[in-house]
Amino acid sequence: MFEGLSVAMVTPFRGGAIDRDATARLVEWMIDGGVQGLVVSGSTGEAATCSAEERRTLLAFVKERVKGRVWIVAGTGTNNTAESITLTRMAEEVGVDGAMVVTPYYNKPTPKGQAAHFRAVATSTKLPLILYNVPGRTGTNTTPDVLAMVQDLPNVKAVKEASGSLDQISQVKTKTTLTLLSGDDGLTLPVIAVGGEGIISVAGQVVPREMRALTDAARAGKVAEARAIHQKLQPVFKALFVESNPGPVKFLLSEMGICANELRLPLVPVEPASEKLILDAARATGVVLTGTASRA
């Protein structure tokens, strides 16, 4: 479940509020490009600075726009188990297809605590869950042994693995039966090579067709074709993380005419030097640019 190309989408803002028009443009752009699923209100969506009501509004709006064409997963994990349960139940009420639950950040729970957190959220809902390991953001690594503790739960279906360790990622496939999804665009090909079934992508919202082609080729065992696409996209993969995500991708989406380059504090727009690097990478990859910075 949740195989293929999905995108951790940004939350477009304008004037401090969610920009519904830009959200609609982004959704249509991604679906037209072949994206198979959308993850809404994750870390790329600046969920940490969105209220629960904003999350509900955004989920309902995206669900209405999508009309069943792709699956929708809500990011509902926090470092507070009770709040994570509340957000997951809210997502279930809205009627999305699943929830993504990140390892609790800042608290630094032990493996036993992580497993208890995931179990509490899973047993509170009927939604299928993707567990999300991203130690670079959370400060805590969720190991394959922890995943093995909770894979018996019927609605724990997949893991988004962003540890950056291919050794650890490989062990997920030997120690669990969960659907393995890459959490790093640049590792899409190697993760699929060791048994992964897809990617939850950031780059997929600026180069959706190319990311779909990469994912499909890799899953079909067309290694040379997948490698060629991977190499072509490498500049964009790197540029989108030259500063804290989602700063770079929001800047690039603004230069593509899709949404405003607006973030919520404590995030701020990328620096001019980063803008140049991002634009150079986009041009090298064939991204069509229409913004003022790209014409400077």
The residues carrying an active-site annotation are: 132, 160
- Alpha carbon distance 123, 101 (integer Å): 13
Taking CA atoms, 266 is separated from 100, 106, 244, 263, 271, in Å, by 23, 17, 11, 8, 15
Q: Which residues contact 148 (CB under 8 A, 6 or more apart)?
A: 175, 176
Length of the chain: 296
Q: Which residue bears the tokens 């993380």?
A: 241
- Alpha carbon distance 201, 2 (integer Å): 13
Nearest residue to 121 via CA among 89, 93, 143: 89
Alpha-helical (H) ranges within 72-207 are: 81-94, 111-122, 135-138, 144-150, 166-175, 188-193
